[in-house]
Amino acid sequence: MKADRSDELPPYFRIDPDQAARALGAPMETNGFASIAAACAEGRDDLAGRGLQENGRRSLRLFSTWEITRYLIPVAQGHFRRVLKQNPALPQGRSETEGGAKWFTLDEVLRLRAHFAAEGSKTKNYRPYRPEGLPAKIMAVANFKGGVGKTSTAAHLAMSAALDGYRVLVIDLDSQGSMTSIFGGKVDDEWQTIFPLFARHYGSHLRIENQRRLDRGDPPLPFDDTLAEAMEIRAPDLVQATHWPNIDLIGAQLNLYWAEFQVPVWRMQSRGWKLWETLSDTLASDGILDSYDLVILDTPPALGYLTINGLAAADILLVPLGASFLEFDSTGRFFDMLHTTFNSIEEGENLAARALGREAIYFKWDAVRAVLTRYDGTQQAELAALMQAYLGTTLSPHRQGFTALIGQAGEQVQGIYEADYRDFNRETYARGRETFDATWAAVKSLVIGAWRRDELAALTAEEA
């Protein structure tokens, strides 16, 4: 008699139809989605609440003397303490125990950095490079494949830049609102997103177009209440402070997706509206580019109208991807779609420009880089090297590794830089943030290089 070997078979051979039917549950109706969504909302609020104060707002942790002198202000700890002692008007920090380490808010760190920049050694860069008289740099983080670390990369770059001393505005273009959640934003409806900027930009165009129509004796196009209300809204009206003193936010929520349907309707009504210029025009005209150093755009994982606007406005485009065949293949298709989309806009606009004797338009970016995220050097080195060989300088040589710190910080609903190193072994913390520090260094080099090129071009123009 042969032994029963059914337990040795793979599990998909051992499914009993009656048990499967009982486990299936009742059929799902449309209203069932509402119950699932409500459960997710309750869980999301519970998770997001883990980092909240009693007043319901998120707060940024404190920074120790060790952390400040190692990562934020390039001075020795002993010198740092002497400067504080000699300048009692400066923030002195607070100790959790008598004689214990001193801890400072980021606001206080920024004040201390300003003091060292004014009074300290002129050979050290206490403040990051920022040419006067030039606008902020706009950085878009985009890829139409989900799960590549797009929002996480954008958020950590914003935090890195803020710790470095830059003033940062984060704009969430994704109706899923993940970036908004990371920074504790509260967005009630689409009127607190960038949607009214699209409506205002179209409304401004429509007023000019309708005057031309009236001059020709043609009836005007509809100018509804939505457009009239949007004409009173400016970008600073949409900006909300975050728990980071030098990071502000224009948030997103589900209703923002309506823009993907409304924008093409407006475009069909008036083909002369240059919808892809909405963000670049409004951010410049509303003073955003003078109020901040960096504007970071988190785009949806699709090449829709919001993404196209973000890419058209960007000076620097970052494309995160993993070291896998599918992500490499998908990213190649993404770049192909970028070429097709922007080439189509240029051809259409320049055909009309030539007919009217106007100057042709061409899109241009200071830098475009692909960035490897969630990199595991023990398993992905060969594929990463192959990707580097094909992409060349387009693929940043820095590879953002995945460490235990990333997973632990994620469980606590925090960015790496928001995590208190005392929750980890100090060296584990140092190794964990090292990969994000290196990512910022690679990106900061692009920003500084672009500014410097602009600065030199302006000097050359003045001399001419």
Greater confidence (411 vs 371) lies with 371
Q: pLDDT band at residue 409, thresholds of 50, 70 and 90?
A: very low
Three-state secondary-structure class, residue 240: strand
**For range 20-44, the mean pLDDT:** 73
Give 168's contacts (C-beta < 8 A, 6+ positions apart). 158, 161, 162, 244, 246, 247, 248, 292, 293, 294, 295, 296
Q: pLDDT band at residue 221, thresholds of 50, 70 and 90?
A: very high
Three-state secondary-structure class, residue 140: strand
Give the pLDDT confidence of 238-268 residue by residue, as tens digits: 999 999 999 999 999 999 998 999 999 999 9
Strand partners, 250: 171
- Sheet containing 63-64, strands listed edge to edge, beginning at the edge strand earlier in sequence: 63-64, 102-104, 94-95
**For range 178-201, the mean pLDDT:** 94
Range picked from 284-298, 325-339, 434-448 for highest mean pLDDT = 284-298
**For range 139-148, the mean pLDDT:** 83
**CB neighbourhood size of 23 (10 A):** 9
The pLDDT value recorded for residue 96 is 78
* H helix or E strand, kind and range, residue 367: strand 367-375
Lowest mean pLDDT among 74-78, 88-92, 122-126, 223-227: 122-126
The model carries a pTM of 0.88
Lowest mean pLDDT among 15-29, 239-253, 438-452: 15-29
Q: pLDDT band at residue 284, thresholds of 50, 70 and 90?
A: very high
CA nearest to 328, candidates 156, 151, 142, 143: 143
Strand partners, 318: 141, 369
CA nearest to 180, candidates 136, 240, 226, 117: 240
Residue 411 pLDDT > 60: no
Residue 54 pLDDT > 90: no
**For range 375-393, the mean pLDDT:** 88
Dist CA 150 CA 142 (whole Å): 7
The pLDDT value recorded for residue 410 is 47
The pLDDT value recorded for residue 140 is 96
